[in-house]
Structure 1
Amino acid sequence: MTMNKEFKGVYAVAVTPFHKDGSFDFEAAKRHLDYLIESGVHGICILGATGEYQSVTLEEHKAYVREIVPYICDRTSVIVGVTRERADDVIDLILQVKESGGHAAMVLAPPYCHPTQEELVENYRYIMEKTEFPIMIYNNPGSCGITIERDTFRELFRLPYTAVVKESSGDIHKVTEVVDDAPESVSVFCGADNIAFESFAAGACGWISMLANVAPKDCAALYHAVYEEKNLEAGKEIYRRILPALDVLETFPRVPQTLKYLLSRKGFDCGYCRRPRVELTEEQKAYVVDAMHADNIE
């Protein structure tokens, strides 16, 4: 089975707790991360889109990495989102991740300039040459406006520090294609919450999961049943129960607010979101609890 043995399983793409004044709430972050690790996730991804990376400056990003990565890197695998428009900013962030003890960096294509496929390969090559650090290639057409094509993936697989792919197109055929083409040194992760079951069945060995913030045990159990045990019936039972929550997270456009609100119902105060995000209304809170069957997930 294709897999980089260093990267497998369920990685919660963690929320970033903020105080009301916008400063980081490191203590709340640590409490939440302790809970995730103790609940059985296999890794943590910080400062992804769910972690509001777009809303922090470069220096703030590095400060968060300096504080949080050493706190968890000896207990679990840590991948840090480092997406930025400028390649040199990405490199700057990766070098801080490397120094702090992280295990890989997640890099989306530049989200504004829409590079060609050739430019995309050269961008990743440049970043890898300057950092010599494991990279998670991130395919998310909805976020950056371009799709990594099959031949482009094959070129990226030949680069020396390609370690993981996060496949977030939402197309299970694309997931299967990437799994089939990936060399043994590269892990393929599901990056769309509501095709996790199908992705594991297709051979994806990991999952960057939004839902794992609030239901880490269920997410880990789904991975164990489908990927490790090959028990599709047991996996379907878990999947059907959590699928309403997974669907909401892929369709309701307020993911960080939703997860922070649901965490507050579990006793974790993960604070506020940064502007331009605003807090959920009472009506929206009622919607997510009902639509996600929030009392039936763990």
Structure 2
Amino acid sequence: MAALTGVFPILPSIFRADGSLDFDGTRNVLEYILAAGAAGIVFPGLASEYDLLDAEERVAMTGKLGEWIAGRVPFIVGASSPDEALAVRFAQAGANAGAVAAMVLTPHRHAQDPEAMVAFFDRLHEASGLPIMLQNAPAPMGVGLGVEQVTWLAQRCAGIRYVKEETQPSGHRITALMERAASHVDAVFGGAGARYVIDELARGAVGTMPACEVTEVHVAMLDRYARGDIDGARELFERTLPLLSMQAVFRWRLTKAVLLRRGLIGSDFVRAPGPALDEHDQRELDALLARIVDLLPLDSVPGGVRR
């Protein structure tokens, strides 16, 4: 398997206005992400409202993504679940769909039992045959393991080949992981919506896994960084940071508000609780997008299945 590097956006769960899964809308967003140059796709993750999808929805969408991606880019399946049997099922569904790895949150029930956590990851790897990406997210989403704990797990679990580090300060932790765990994992990715991406890359991260609404900008940012144009990468980072700051507050709703403006989806419905954008927020979002319109053309839909 080729090394995983670059921008791996988290594909959101797209819903119709009645709250049901919108497969056409999901494929539109997928094709936009691929046309924007993403190195791969992740589904489902925290940005996919994964915990508000039932098991059948997750398995069905995983299968569809395997069909639609058809090997064009690496697909990482999210297999997180508080139910170990379901986690195994989701990882196996990903393997059947051609996924190259399974991204899994550290399970809360094993937070105080490292040996049980080792056994969990071993079983997941053996049952699916997929390399594991340990998603080290802070509470309440994850456990927020310390660097020594992540290193110890990587040493004990041959199946853990990647780490997505999202516990803050992520930069410090990525530096420490590169020093202590580099011989035990293939790569470390950043997350947290790419709000710290320049610092993470400087410390050894090989890529980022943000929400998807500005994929082409993140792709250009990492391309500039890889070519040694650090100032150019930082310019793009700084221009998009106000939007990412707003996204940190409104999460899924902000992502879908942008996708709706771009004509990629027909409804910005979300299942997850949280603050909604009011009329002032909508105007602020319009103003922020207007400031980066040259980076993010809002009147085009590259590729995709048109409605």
TM-score (norm 1): 0.89
Structure 1 CA distance for aligned equivalents of residues 275 and 82 of structure 2: 25
1:160 aligns with one of 136, 158, 161: 158
Figure out how many residues of one structure are paired with residues of the other and give that number: 290
* Structure-2 change in CA distance of 1:142 and 1:293 (3 Å): farther
1:50 aligns with one of 47, 50, 74: 47
Residue 199 in 1 paired to residue 177 in 2?
no
Deviations 1:104-136 (A, max 9, x none): 111002256744444333322232233221111
Deviations 1:48-83 (A, max 9, x none): 111111111111110111112221141111112121
Deviations 1:139-187 (A, max 9, x none): 1113335222223222322322222111111311012112222227511
> 1:127 is paired with a residue of what secondary structure?
helix
* Structure-2 change in CA distance of 1:72 and 1:245 (3 Å): same
Structure 2 CA distance for aligned equivalents of residues 81 and 242 of structure 1: 27
After superposition, residues 125-274 of structure 1 pair within 5 angstroms as 125-144=122-141, 146-158=143-155, 159-171=157-169, 172-180=171-179, 181-183=181-183, 185-192=185-192, 193-210=194-211, 213-226=212-225, 228-250=226-248, 252=249, 254-269=250-265, 271=267, 272-274=269-271
* Structure-2 change in CA distance of 1:98 and 1:173 (3 Å): same
Structure 1 CA distance for aligned equivalents of residues 190 and 130 of structure 2: 22
1:83 aligns with one of 65, 80, 93: 80
Could you tell which deviates more after superposition, 95-104 or 64-73? 64-73
Structure 1 CA distance for aligned equivalents of residues 71 and 142 of structure 2: 36
> 2:139 is paired with a residue of what secondary structure?
helix
Q: Deviation at 1:295?
A: 4.1
> 1:75 is paired with a residue of what secondary structure?
coil
8 Å contact 2:239–2:292 — kept in the other structure? Answer: no
Structure 2 CA distance for aligned equivalents of residues 185 and 151 of structure 1: 14
Q: Deviation at 1:283?
A: 2.9
TM-score (norm 2): 0.86
Structure 2 CA distance for aligned equivalents of residues 112 and 277 of structure 1: 25
8 Å contact 1:11–1:43 — kept in the other structure? Answer: yes
Q: Deviation at 1:87?
A: 1.6
> Over the residues paired in the alignment, what is the CA RMSD in angstroms?
2.2
